[in-house]
Amino acid sequence: MQDAVKLVEIWRGPVLEGIHRGHAVICDAKGEIRASWGNPDLVFLPRSASKMLQALPLIESGAAADLKLTPEFLALACASHNGAAIHTDRVQNWLRAIGKVDDDFRCGSHEPKDIEARNGLIKTDQSPCQMHNNCSGKHTGFLSVARHLGAGPEYIDPAHPVQLAVREAFEDMTGLESPGFGIDGCSAPNFATTLRGMARAMAKMADCETGSQTRNMAAARLVAAMAKHPELVAGEGRSCTELMRAMGGKASIKTGAEAVFVAILPGPGLGVAVKIEDGGTRAAEAVIASLLVQLGVLEAEHPTAKKYMYGPITNCRDTVTGHLKVLI
């Protein structure tokens, strides 16, 4: 088995201060590896990078059509959002449409990452609700599928019809039986696979070669929704949003906790999966940006590409103290 390889160096002035090791795979829909670093057969948890796969049943079940969900809501189903008003207002409207309220969520609450939303709660002495959870769009999608199927309220139970549908879609798209799952930060099951399997799933979403016309349509709609509404997939100041804007719809990308990043490239029909061993998110961002440049969907000289690939690293006085160096 191949070990993790050096992917990113952190320099402070002339001194090498840190090294991030990890794994990366570029794959086509047939599972053929076009390029890889580290161990493509590494078993890992994709975390929020799997949200596009978890959202497939929302469309395939007929729930999205029944609710007449527009691309904005499909993008939210794939999101790890900031909890800004543009996110929570839409989630609230979606909840009303399915006759649900915040208490019907099973994701838990946390402070919004959006500064304006967080300060608004503080100024009015309010606590965050579950709609502020970065996964509330995904969970509204789960609730919509459960409602459509006439299933019970505990939609995060691994044996619930919603999660059974998610697992079937996940395993079909990765081409592998999942060896198990962990419970994600939002309390939903997160199924494990290999890095190659995840890259293959992203490639199948890219060229809509899933073997099912219904699944092809669902994949295409989700990918297009993310590309059209990058601000809903994450939010201002976030790498997913900024890099998708910089690419102008050429690729849809998604981060996951513990330094996971994936990319869907419809043009060449390729998928990318990245995992940094130490969980360093900035390293995952640097690697995915570099690969997007190499694959021709992100301009190397674009300011956003430079920001994530090189930095610079600054301190509290905005003094440049260092930079990143991507090694692939």
Q: For 96-116, write each residue's pLDDT tens digit.
A: 999 999 999 999 999 999 999
Residue 1 has pLDDT above 50, yes or no: no
Compute how many other C-beta atoms are within 10 angstroms of the C-beta atom of residue 253: 29
Six-digit token string for 43: 């078993």
Between CA 234 and CA 79 the distance in angstroms is: 6
Between CA 130 and CA 92 the distance in angstroms is: 10
Residue 269: its H or E element:
none
Residue 2 has pLDDT above 80, yes or no: no
Domain boundaries, the chain: 5-326
Q: Quick one: what percent of the chain has pLDDT higher than 70?
A: 100
> Each residue of 253-297: pLDDT tens digit?
999 999 999 999 999 999 999 999 999 999 999 999 999 999 999
User: Token match 């990452």: residue?
Assistant: 113
Strands (E), 195-269: 252-256, 260-265
Q: Quick one: what percent of the chain has pLDDT higher than 90?
A: 98
> Each residue of 32-63: pLDDT tens digit?
999 999 999 999 999 999 999 999 999 999 99
Compute how many other C-beta atoms are within 10 angstroms of the C-beta atom of residue 301: 7
Is CATH 3.30.450 the classification given to domain 5-326? no
**Which amino acid makes up residue 91?**
V
Six-digit token string for 52: 């596009």
Kindly report the pTM of this predicted structure.
0.97
Distance spanning both ends of the chain, measured CA to CA: 20
- The whole-chain average pLDDT of the chain stands at 97
Between CA 161 and CA 117 the distance in angstroms is: 34
